Amino acid sequence: MSDSSGKEPTSEGEKLAQQHCSTCHLPVAPDALDKETWIKHVLPAMAPKLGLEVWQKTQYYQPPTATISLADWTKLVAYYEKLAPEKPTQTKPPTKLVNDWSIFKLVKPTEIKSELATTTMVAFDSARGTIYSSNETSSGLYQWSSSLKPALIRQLPSPAVQASFIDRPNGSHQTLLTCIGTMLAVDQARGEVLQLDLDKAATTPPVSIAQQLPRPIQSTPGDFNRDGLTDWIVCGFGHNVGGLYLLKQRPDHQFNKLVIKEVPGATQVIPGDFNKDGWLDFMALFAHADEGIWLFTNDQKGGFLERNLLRFPPVYGSTSFQLVDFNKDGKLDILYSCGDNSDYSRVLKPFHGIYLFTNQGNNQYKQTYFYPINGCTKAIAADFDHDGDVDIATIAFFGDLKNKPAETFVYFEQLAPAQFRPHAVPVSQYGRWICMDAKDWDHDGDIDIVLGNYSQGFLNEVGFTPTWNGYLPLIVLENSTSL
């Protein structure tokens, strides 16, 4: 759907789109969105970025500081208006969904009737057989027992969106919490990274190791300077302002915040020694404007050298990626999901879903699988059915909630390389899934799944009235493979 094929433009409007849009991101082809979305939403939002003024979404004015003339902008708008389809296009899935429970069974927790479910995080603490969750309503941190009974153990300064669990040599069981600051898409640097002793959570407040972060959504550990101390890379998604930050641990166990890349949209980091030089590198997913996956190679001097591996148009709304050897050739492939649909073009998109990019060597990747899922939010790859290959679980917060609610959770059973049987596990009535984790929760040898329910707001479909449970913060899909 992008104008990134390298072909020469065939019209002046296309040439102008490539010239002006490519300064910030991959140009987007007209058929990626419908005509109304282009003319009334996307183009009016893009015009100010080129210095134009907009009145009532359809009338444009050219101040002296504009980087494009009004005449050229008119040609660019005409290009999209002429070639965009009247209605959003659709993509036919390669395989129909199978509506069944497959290898899973539902385990429902106790409802929390005192507040609407606005879950922002679910995390298995498999070492203790518990689950932790947080929410936007109260910024509470909940601990769920093995029987799924909740206990509010701490109020946080803002909702937690990620947790990493750490067992210290002194026997303490701790967690590092990434608190977003605000769920609203605004430029407010209120996020924090907190360290909390879970055994003393009710009586001992957390320790802040970084503050004033722009809507951080993930913190990833690693000893990036080989000094024997754990550092953290923080993805500050932000809004118009954001960044990728290194929290470098000092000998006194305090942290210095260093900027790695100062752009919004930092979403996820996966560390690894990718060039086999003994120093820890990482890959990062960016999901705002210039979307894609970049490799950051450790320069062994305290910094990183970046190289783009995959780029995606800004309408993709990248949401997650994972490095997994799907074809068992010894090279890590990329599982990628896209479907964030809370921006200027809030229509269903045929290119949202999951993609498999097979590693060709020398940092080259080739798309070998795509399955369309409206509004796909996250994909997790694991051998869920214990048959020796890698399966996939997906959630879709911005799915087609009105017509295809079954897409909001799908389990992809791998049958052969790049061939999957998709199971629509019937859980859409219990909630709207915004977060997911997968681990062996009950210690029976297989991988279970927990889904977090954010039950209110963010509705793009006109006339749609939700029917899911608004007071059920989470559900567990217990894997029955080993039973």
Secondary structure of the chain in the HEC alphabet?
Answer: CECCCCCCCCCHHHHHHHHHHCCCCCCECHHHCCHHHHHHHHHHHHHHHHCCEEECCCEEECCCCCCCCHHHHHHHHHHHHHHCCCCCCCCCCCCCCECCCCCEEEECCCCCCCCCCEEEEEEEECCCCEEEEEECCCCEEEEECCCCCEEEEEECCCCEEEEEEEECCCCCEEEEEEECCCCCCCCCCCEEEEEEEHHHCCCCCCEEEEEEECCEEEEEEECCCCCCCCEEEEEECCCCCCEEEEEEECCCCCEEEEEEECCCCEEEEEEECCCCCCCCEEEEEECCCCEEEEEEEECCCCCEEEEEEEEECCCCCEEEEEEECCCCCCCCEEEEEECCCCCCCCCCCCCCEEEEEEEEECCEEEEEEEEECCCCCEEEEECCCCCCCCEEEEECCCCCCCCCHHHHEEEEEEEECCEEEEEECCCHHHCCEEEEEEECCCCCCCCEEEEEEECCCCCCCCCCCCCCCCCCCEEEEEECCCC
Sequence-distant (≥ 6) Cβ neighbours of residue 252 within 8 angstroms: none
Tokens describing residue 219: 């913190």
Distance CA 444, CA 367 (A): 35
Sequence letter at residue 18: Q
pLDDT of the residue at 407: 96
Tens-place pLDDT, residues 354-385: 999 999 999 999 999 999 999 999 999 999 99
Tokens describing residue 344: 């200027």
Distance CA 171, CA 157 (A): 27
Q: Which residues pair with 208 in a beta bridge?
A: 194
pLDDT of the residue at 305: 98
Tens-place pLDDT, residues 152-174: 999 999 999 999 999 888 888 99
pLDDT of the residue at 2: 40
pLDDT of the residue at 58: 82
pLDDT of the residue at 172: 87
Tell me if 393 sits within 8 A of 438, measured CB to CB: yes
Residue segments in the chain with a per-residue pLDDT below the cut of 50: 1-5
Distance CA 483, CA 385 (A): 11
> What pairing do the DSSP bridges indicate for beta strands 433-439 and 140-144?
unpaired
Tell me if 279 sits within 8 A of 298, measured CB to CB: yes
Tell me if 338 sits within 8 A of 316, measured CB to CB: yes
The whole-model pTM stands at 0.94
pLDDT of the residue at 4: 46
Sequence-distant (≥ 6) Cβ neighbours of residue 105 within 8 angstroms: 477, 478, 480
Residue written as tokens 């479910």? Answer: 117
Distance CA 108, CA 106 (A): 6
Distance CA 97, CA 426 (A): 11
- Calculate the dihedral angle through the C-alpha atoms of 454, 459, 378, 49, rounding to the nearest 10 degrees: -120
pLDDT of the residue at 391: 98
pLDDT of the residue at 336: 98
Residue 45: closest CA among 15, 83, 28, 188: 28
